[in-house]
Structures are given as C-alpha cells and as structure tokens.
Amino acid sequence: MSTPQLTIVRGTARLVGHALVVTSALLVVACGGRTNANQHDAATSGSSGPATGGSIGTGGKPQGMGGASSSGSGGIAAGGDAATGGAPMTGGTTASGGTSATGGTTADIAASPLERFCQGGSKAGRQDRVVEPPVTAYRLDMAACCAARYGILLHSHALMGSDYEIEILQVDPDAVSGAYAVGDTWQPMRVLVVATDDASDDGQVATGTVRITGNPTDPEGFHIGACIETPAGDAGQPPMMFHVPGVFIAPAAWSNRFAIYLLEDPRQTPNVLASTPLDSLVLVDHSLLDLGFIASVSQATGEVRIHGNGDIGRLISSLMENLLLMPFVVEADGERIYLGNFISPISSNLGDGPMVDSMRMSADRFQIEKPHQGPDPRWDQRILKVLGEANRLVP
C-alpha cells in the first residue's frame, strides 16, 4: 500500500487537484490510492491516460451543470463463457440448467457457485450468508497503472461488519461496451476488493466478470457491473462473492454539481451571518469539497464518506486552529442551499443551520448533523436530486 506524503506550506484556503490547501497551513496529500502488492507489473501490461475522475475543488464556483441522469443499467450475464485475451465477451453459453443442442437433445451444465450467486440485484456474501446492501459508485483518482479507476461501494457494515469497495482498474483505454473476464492479469481490467473498515487491507484481487454498458468517456456517464469473487480464506472459508448488475458512473464534469464552500471571512459571528442574505455571503474561490471526492452521503445519518487518501479531519482541524466556529455554505447545481458550521466541542454558540463537530471527523468521513432548532435543510430537494442522479445517496 502506497504511503501518502505530507507537506506543510503556506497559502490561501482552497483545495486544488489532489492537493489540500488550507488557510493557516497547507496539508498536501499525495493521493496514491490503495494498490495491490503486484501493481509493479502494470509497467509492462498497463497504460497511462488522462485523468477522468473528479477532484476536491477542481474548479471555481459551479455554474449549475444540471446534467441529465442516464437511465438503464447493464446486467451481468450470470453464466457467460469467460473471455480470453482481453477481448469483450460477445457470446457464451448461459449456465441456467442446460443448453439446448442443435439436434434437440439437452446437455446439462452444472453452474458454478459464482454463476448461481450472480442472479437478481446487488449482493455480497458467502454461500452461507448473503446480504443485499445499498450501493454507491464513483470515479476514483488516477493511478499510473490505468486509464481510469472506478469504485463501487457496498454499504454492508451493519450487516457484515464492514463495507466493501470494489475497485475496478481500467487498464485498456479503449474498453467499450461488453463483458470482460478479470483475474490475475492486468489486461484489459483488474479488480480489487477492499474491506474499508480494515485500515490494513490493501485489497484482494478478484476473478470473474466486469460488464461495461456504454462508453466510459461518454460525457453523460455510463454503467458498470461486476460478478466477482475473492480467493477462499485461510481457514477454509468459501470465497467472498459480489454481484452488482449495473450501476451508474457519473461523468467527471459533474464534480461541481454539489460542493461545500468556506466563507472568505470565517470570523463573522453567527449574529452577523443570521442577518446577511445567503446569496450575499462572500465565499472563497474554490470549494472545500465537491462531488468528485464524495463516495456517499447517508440520508439516515448525515454521514459524508470521502474516497481517496486525503484527510478531511486533519484539514478542518488545521483550518480551525484558532476558531471555535467556522461557517460553510452548501451548493447544489450552482444554487446556495444552506449555511452550516464546523464547530469546536468547547464552543457554546452552535450557530444556526446544520453543523459538523470538528472533533468527530475522521480522515475519510464526517457527519452533518441537523440544526439544534428550526427547519432541517440538509435534504432539500435540489440536494437530493444531485446526489440521487450521481448515485451517491444512501437512504
């Protein structure tokens, strides 16, 4: 697993590219992403390409992109023949109990456990235990091994003790619609499964099939699915199996459809802010966090999950070094929705609007709590629209 490199410099409060830029100090985290131990093989079998994923604060204030949501989903053929040589699977025999022979006889074909597992909706588990958790999907940071990287997050912690991220590394830049066999080789794709609640888990290489529906370079997004399994456990446990029939991957250009901005003057008091119209507040030029780095937002708890190797908790702590309260504004499709506050646990003034306890933030997640009084604007329909269309919303 690559180790992020931390650097401290001075600068203006902003986040640009893969660098986290703070007001009083700059915390630069070189985002390498989780990689498997044999990723060095990619130097000979992979190819690099242009970055396709979003980044924290990749641009200025959004202009309200409002892109249309792509419809439909690409299913995984449960019993297709595995393709070889990196070519899409264009045919194959379906293992559904038998194949009709030309002469009218039927040859019984025993479906594998993975083929039997990959039926219906999204699920994860072993033969003795199967769960059907919510799923979100997103573009990951670029890596030297690949033309693009995508993440599928199965929110299974409450059911299995951990969430699981399926990391799909697209090595072939020309991959288009079709089913692709994946395994130990790098071409045309490679899949890692990571137990996200285990910080020491660098991921296991999965085997099975990945299906692309549409073109990954389509400005309107595309769909991706997986029917995969990880190796059997050391104690004789059966393989972990995962089935995602097809999830929408939003285009990188949607990054600014949802964003959190800091105020240019973070020392304004709650009384002053309460008397100032939301559209009149002066914001910094670059967002603190945008959709490109968000893995999921839970409507039940208000938890925001972040992918990549950035440390949002450390960033906010450095920004609030001499502050008890730091206001922020949430935007959706270029419209300002509400004013909230990052608060210190020793602050006696919680301000108005939703709040984030800065001491409870971790490297990859934080919780936006409802206001202590008044209406709750966190689930404004404009926010729900963006998060839902971008496949980031967890009920």
Q: Give residue-wise pLDDT tens across range 56-114.
A: 444 444 333 333 333 333 333 333 333 333 444 433 333 333 333 344 443 445 678 89
| DSSP structure class, residue 381 | H
According to the model, what pLDDT value does residue 49 have? Answer: 37
Residue-level pLDDT at 234:
66
DSSP codes, 333-365: TTEEEEEEEEE-TT-S---SS-EEEGGG--SSE
CB 247 within 8 A of CB 152: yes
Question: Phi and psi dihedrals of 327, rounded to 5?
Answer: -75, 155
Confidence of residue 376 (pLDDT cuts 50, 70, 90): very high
- Hey, is 260 helix, strand or coil? strand
For the segment 9-38, the average pLDDT, to the nearest whole number, is 36
> Does one domain contain both 385 and 275?
yes
182 and 60 in a single domain? The answer is no
* 149 bridge partner residues: 169
Query: What count of other Cβ atoms lies within 10 Å of the Cβ of residue 305?
Result: 21
Last residue of a domain, one of 233, 249, 265: 249
Average pLDDT for the chain = 77
pLDDT computed for residue 352 by the predictor:
81
Q: How far apart are CA 346 and CA 385, in angstroms?
A: 35
pLDDT of 121 over the 70 cut: yes
Q: Residue 25: pLDDT band by 50, 70, 90 thresholds?
A: very low
227 and 197 in one domain?
Answer: yes
Q: Is residue 319 one of the residues assigned to a domain?
A: yes
Shared domain check, 52 and 30 = yes
Task: Please give the backbone phi and psi of residue 82, each rounded to the nearest 5 degrees, phi first.
Answer: -70, 135
Strand 204-205 relative to strand 26-29: parallel, antiparallel, unpaired? unpaired
Helices (H) and strands (E) in the chain, counts: 6, 26
pLDDT at position 236 is: 67
Distance CA 120, CA 138 (A): 22
Q: 0.85 exceeded by the pTM?
A: no
- Is residue 287 domain-shared with residue 342, that is, in the same domain? yes
The strand order across the sheet containing 123-126 reads 129-131, 123-126, 241-249, 222-229, 207-213, 178-182
Same domain for 146 and 216: yes
45 & 173 share domain = no
The answer to whether 70 and 223 have CB atoms below 8 angstroms apart is yes
Q: Would you say residue 38 has pLDDT above 80?
A: no
Residue 164 has pLDDT above 80, yes or no: yes
Q: How many domains does the chain have?
A: 2
Radius of gyration of the chain (CA): 23
186 and 59 fall within a common domain: no
Contact of 164 with 196, CB cutoff 8 Å: yes
Torsion angles phi and psi, residue 382, rounded to 5: -70, -35
Residue 80 in domain: no
> 249, 277, 312: which is the final residue of a domain?
249
Is 318 part of a structural domain of the chain?
yes
Of 337, 326, 249, the C-alpha closest to 288 is 326
| pLDDT tens-digit series, residues 250-298 | 999 999 999 999 999 998 888 888 889 999 999 999 999 999 999 999 9
Q: Evaluate whether residue 213 is within a structural domain.
A: yes
Instruction: Let me know if residue 140 belongs to a domain.
Output: yes
Does residue 340 sit in the same domain as residue 382? Answer: yes
**Regarding predicted confidence, which is higher, 34 or 172?**
172
CA angle at 285 for the pair 17 and 63, rounded to the nearest 5° = 90
Domain identity same for 322 and 384: yes
Say which range, 49-58, 189-198, 235-244, 348-357, has the weakest mean pLDDT. 49-58
- The dihedrals phi and psi of 318, each to the nearest 5 degrees, come to -70, -35
Q: Flag whether 191 is in a domain.
A: yes
Q: Percentage of the chain with pLDDT > 90?
A: 53
Q: Are residues 113 and 36 in the same domain?
A: no
Q: Are 226 and 165 in contact (CB under 8 A)?
A: no
pLDDT at 189: 93
Please determine, for residue 22, whether its predicted confidence score (pLDDT) is greater than 90: no
pLDDT (mean) for 330-357 = 89
pLDDT at 257 (0 to 100):
97
Boundary (domain end) residue, out of 249, 272, 288? 249
Q: What angle do CA 18, 297, 288 make, to 5 degrees?
A: 35
Query: Does the residue 77 lie in any domain?
Result: no
User: Which amino acid is it at 58?
Assistant: T
- Structure token digits, residue 342: 């990052």
What is the residue range of 179's domain?
108-249
**Would you tell me how many other CB atoms lie within 10 Å of the CB of residue 144?**
12
Indicate whether 96 belongs to any domain: no
Looking at residue 111, what DSSP letter applies?
P
Instruction: Give residue 198's pLDDT band: very low, low, confident or very high (50, 70, 90).
Output: confident
Q: Please, which pLDDT band fits residue 242 given cuts at 50, 70 and 90?
A: very high
Q: In what order do the strands lie in the sheet with 14-16?
A: 6-9, 26-29, 19-21, 14-16
Shared domain check, 393 and 271: yes
